[in-house]
Amino acid sequence: MLPETGSAEPVSESSNPEALVDWALHRFAGQRTIMTSAFGMEGCALIDMIARRTSAFTVVYLDTGFFFPETMTLLERLIQRYPRIDFVNRGTTLSPQEQKERYGDELWKRDPSRCCQLRKIEPMKAVMEEADVWVTGLRRSQSATRQHLRVAEWDWRYDLLKINPLANWERRDVWEYVQRHDVPFNALHVRGYPSIGCTHCTAPVEGSEVTDYVRDGRWSGQDKTECGLHGDGI
C-alpha cells in the first residue's frame, strides 16, 4: 500500500512502462495507491514490475463468481510468486444464486450491462472511494475505445489520479516482458483467449495468437465490448 522505492526521474507520455512505474511509486509514496487487475497478461506484467520495486503494494481484484478455473490457478501462482503483494478480493457479496433469485436466470445474456453493473462496477466504486491513485494495465492499442488513454490522467468519475504505465505498449511488448521475466500468466492466453473475463462472456477467438489482442471474444454476439469499469465506454 505504501510504496517505498522508485525514482524521481522525470517521465513523459512516451516514457517506457518501467520508468513510469518507478516515477509513480516515488512520486506518490504515502498516497493510497492501488492497482486493479483481472489478471490478464498485461496485469501480470505490471504486477511483476511493481513487485520488483516495492516492499508492499495492494492489488485489488473483483471476483465476480464467474472466473475461469485457470484464472483462479493463476491467482494462486501470483500469490506464491509475489509474497510482498497483497492481493485483495473486493468482489460483490451478491452470490450467483441471489442474483438469479432477484434478477432472473442468466442475466448476463439478457442484460449484460446490468450484470456488469452489479458484479463489477458497484464493487469497484467502493474500492475507488478508498484510493487516491489507481494503477491499471490498460493499453491504447487494445481497442478503439482505449486509443485516447494517457499514461497519467485525472479520472473524474472516481475523482482520483489514474496511471496507465503500459499505455504505449503493444501486446507483443507485454508478451516479451512476460517471457523475459518468467511472469506467470493465464494458460487460456495460449489456447486462443486474447482477453479473459467471466466464463459466461468470454470465448476463444479463432486464429488468435498469444501476441494478438482483440476483444472479439468478450460478449461475442452482443453489442458490448467493455464492462464499464474504466468509464467513457471502457
> What minimum distance in Å lies between the beta carbon of 234 and ligand SF4?
14
Closer to ligand SF4 by CB, 26 or 200: give it. Answer: 200
Residue 120 CB, nearest approach to ligand SF4 (Å): 5
From residue 185, alpha-carbon distances to 8, 47, 120 in Å are 30, 11, 22
Task: Identify the DSSP state of 202.
Answer: B
Which of 32, 200 has the CB closer to ligand SF4? 200
Binding site for ligand SF4 (CB under 6 A): 64, 66, 108, 112, 115-116, 119-120, 197-198, 200-201, 227
Beta strands in the chain (DSSP E): 33-36, 57-61, 85-89, 133-135, 152-155, 160-163
State in angstroms the smallest separation of the CB of 123 from ligand SF4.
Answer: 10
Give the SS3 label for residue 182.
coil
Closer CB to ligand SF4, residue 13 or residue 106? 106
CB of 163 to ligand SF4, least distance (A): 25
Q: In the complex with ligand SF4, which residue's Cβ is closer, 60 or 178?
A: 60
Rounded Cα–Cα distance for residues 23 and 33 (Å):
13
**Residue numbers annotated as active site:** 227
Planar angle of CA 121, 123, 124, nearest 5 degrees? 60
Q: What are phi and psi of 218, to 5 degrees?
A: -95, 125
